[in-house]
Amino acid sequence: MNSKTYYTQLRLDPLGKESGDEMLSALLGDGAEVRPLKQLIIERTEGNPFFMEETVQVLLDEGSLVRDASMTRLTRPLGDLKIPPTVQGILAARIDRLSAESKDLLASAGRHRQGVFRSR
C-alpha cells in the first residue's frame, strides 16, 4: 500500500482580539450595529480565521445578515442567531442548505474520491 500523502496540512493560529476585529471589519464594516456581532463571532470562534469567515458566510446565506449598498446589518436580534459551535457544524449547515441535486453530486464526488484513494 502506498503511504504517500495527498494533502498539505496548514496550521492556522487564532487571531487576537484586535486582529480578529480587523478581519471582521473587512467582512462586515465598522458600523455600530455590527460591533456586538463581531465580539460574539470572535468569542465563539476563538479567533480561528477560517471559522470566523465561514460564520459570516452562514449568517449571510441564511439571511440573518444582509449587505446593503454601504453597510452590513442584522435582520434579527443577536440572541436569536444560530451560530454552529464548530467548524464541522458550519460546514454541515452549509451542506444542509444545498439543493437535493447538489447534495447528491457532493455525495457522489465523496464516494468517487474515496475509491480513487483506495485504489492507489
**Averaged pLDDT score across all residues of the chain:** 85
Question: What pLDDT is stored for residue 19 in this prediction?
Answer: 95
Give the C-alpha separation, 3 to 76, whole Å.
50
Q: What is the pLDDT of residues 9-52, one digit of tens each?
A: 778 789 999 999 999 999 999 888 899 999 999 999 999 999 99
Query: What percent of the chain is helix, strand and coil (3-state, nearest 5)?
Result: 60, 5, 35
Q: What's the angle, vertex CA 120, arms to CA 91 and CA 12, rounded to 5?
A: 35
Please give the average per-residue pLDDT across 79-91, as a whole number.
87
CA distance 67 to 4: 44
| Confidence band, pLDDT 50/70/90 cuts, at residue 2 | low
Question: What pLDDT was estimated at residue 117?
Answer: 43
pLDDT tens-digit map of 50-62: 999 999 998 998 8
Alpha-carbon gap, residue 7 to 51, rounded angstroms: 20
CA dihedral 9, 117, 93, 95 (to 10 degrees): 130
